[in-house]
Amino acid sequence: GYNEKSRNLRRAINLAFDLEEYIAIFTNGRALRSYGPIPPGIEGYEDRSQVDYVDKLTKAKQLLSDAGYPNGIDKQTGKPLQIYFDSISV
């Protein structure tokens, strides 16, 4: 959805997702991480690789709580949040 709860959930997932681990496992390390729409080597590219991962996780936890899932638990049902990740094969 497009409400604030849904936006916060998407932002939390984005912050907590470890793309380096994804690249290592699913592409056998044969990919470059891009930190925005402009890829490395093109004028205007911003290297944001030095962002502190712990700070990102702290922010992700806060957004998850704001979305109604404190500590990954749905406040309404008391059940853990389940996320299904679909990946394509290349």
Backbone angles phi, psi at 72, to 5 degrees: 80, 10
Residue 59 has pLDDT above 70, yes or no: yes
Residue 8 has pLDDT above 90, yes or no: yes
Q: Specify whether the CB–CB gap between 33 and 48 falls below 8 A.
A: no
Buried-exposed string 48-74: b where 16+ CB fall within 10 A, e elsewhere: eeeeeeeebeeebbebbbbbebeeeee
Amino acid present at 38 = I
Once rounded to an integer, what is the mean pLDDT over residues 61-73?
94
Residues 6+ apart with CB under 8 A from 30: 23
Q: Specify whether the CB–CB gap between 5 and 68 falls below 8 A.
A: yes
Once rounded to an integer, what is the mean pLDDT over residues 49-63?
84
Once rounded to an integer, what is the mean pLDDT over residues 36-42?
82
For residue 90, what pLDDT band results from cuts at 50, 70 and 90? low
